[in-house]
Amino acid sequence: MRQSSRKAFTLVELLVVIAIIGTLVGLLLPAVQAAREAARRNTCGSNMGQLAKAIAIRETASKDLPGYINKVGISGSPKLARASWVVMTFPSIEQTQLYEQWTSGNPSYSSIELLVCPSNPPVTIGEPNLSYVANAGWRPTWQRGAPSGSQMGYENPANGLFFDRTRTADLPSGVVWKSTNDARDGTDPAKDAPETVMSIAYLQGKGDGTTKTMMLSESLAALYWGYPESTNDYTTATDANFHFGFTWEQPTDVANNLRWRMNGTKGSPDYASFVNMTKEVTSPKTSEPLNPVPGMPSSNHPGGVNAAFVAGQVAYVSDQIDPLVYAQLMTSNHKQSELGIKADGYESMLPEPSDDAY
């Protein structure tokens, strides 16, 4: 009788096979992770594109862009609400029911998938988290006084796109956020700083154009798309352009503090309220770990951030962008902006950035 023999793997052969499989997995895993991140980045860009279109649709109807903070509701009514630019886009992003709650003076908050970047997922599910911020111009504007020396703030429309559209002196008694005076609010309407309004018509007729002006960007420092009542921010936080916006700094100042450049710091903020976000701006940490800087673009994408322009195009902007070019892409009218040394006026003589500058 012939006996059949079965040849088995030796220990050495088995170890070689395991080593080969491990090597292949090691080679493929980074490619898989890179593909996943590319997909998340594309989804993020798509979200921003939809938001930019929603803002443009609203501008077509109202003939102006919303402020980074706005009054919504019936004028003279104690049910007026204080709403960010995000709330003003709700009718165009299929959030009509939520918008109606705001316009009736009953703010309501919920998680909206369109407002969150997949590479910057929320820590707490269900919160009104926000990954995208609007072009709010020059960073120091929120706390500056007018040239005349009064305590009122003023905003140069040439510095950006979204501005403070609230004046507490206009509010009737009984409005719960009446005490949130900021630098632009006087003691009566006649003494308030003038309200700054921006439109796409201004950009096309007098400004730098819709293809040369950024509308939206990403920010790891952003908190929520509104001032939640749960944190008392709704009645205590004064308006600041970095709460719901991204800003620019003078290029010479960026050179002295690299935290103020795009992706200057990353990570998750350790503040959970807008009041504490403002404290982070006025008294920033000087030791590691540093919070992401409020009002400066940042993302978890490698090497840059997504940005949506007024014309509707979404571009991936390198975080190595020249600070001057970055600021130019944010100003709505670079020749009349406060970018640069006003005594020299060099900015008015500089050419506009080219399409490949970012």
Is residue 241 left, alpha or beta, with left meaning phi > 0 and alpha meaning psi from -120 to 50?
alpha
CA atoms within 13 A on the CB side of 14: 4
User: Does residue 253 sit within a domain?
Assistant: yes
pLDDT at 32: 60
State the CB neighbour count (10 A cutoff) for residue 265. 20
User: Does residue 102 sit within a domain?
Assistant: no
User: Does residue 201 sit within a domain?
Assistant: yes
User: Does residue 59 sit within a domain?
Assistant: yes
Query: Residues 148, 191: contact at Cβ < 8 Å?
Result: no
Is this model's pTM higher than 0.75 or not?
Answer: yes
Instruction: Report the chain (358 residues): mean pLDDT per 10 consecutive residues.
Output: 60 77 72 74 93 94 94 87 95 92 89 93 85 94 70 85 91 87 81 88 91 95 90 89 95 89 88 90 74 92 95 94 93 88 56 71
Buried b (16+ CB within 10 A) or exposed e, 23-56: eeeeeeeeeeeeeeeeebbeebbebbbbbbebbb
User: Does residue 263 sit within a domain?
Assistant: yes
- d(CA 258, CA 249) in angstroms, rounded, equals 11
User: Does residue 151 sit within a domain?
Assistant: no
User: Does residue 342 sit within a domain?
Assistant: yes
User: Does residue 19 sit within a domain?
Assistant: no
* Closest CA relative to residue 352, chosen from 344, 337, 320, 134: 337
Query: Residues 64, 51: contact at Cβ < 8 Å?
Result: no
As for how many domains the chain has, the answer is 1
SS3 state at 328: helix
Buried b (16+ CB within 10 A) or exposed e, 133-145: bbbbbbbebbebe
Is the preceding omega at residue 289 within 30 degrees of 0, hence cis? yes
The position carrying tokens 């594109």 is 49
Q: What are 195-230's pLDDT values in tens digits?
A: 899 999 999 998 999 999 999 999 999 999 999 877
Residue 114: give the domain boundaries. Answer: 37-71+108-140+157-163+197-349
User: What are 304's strand-pairing partners?
Assistant: 318
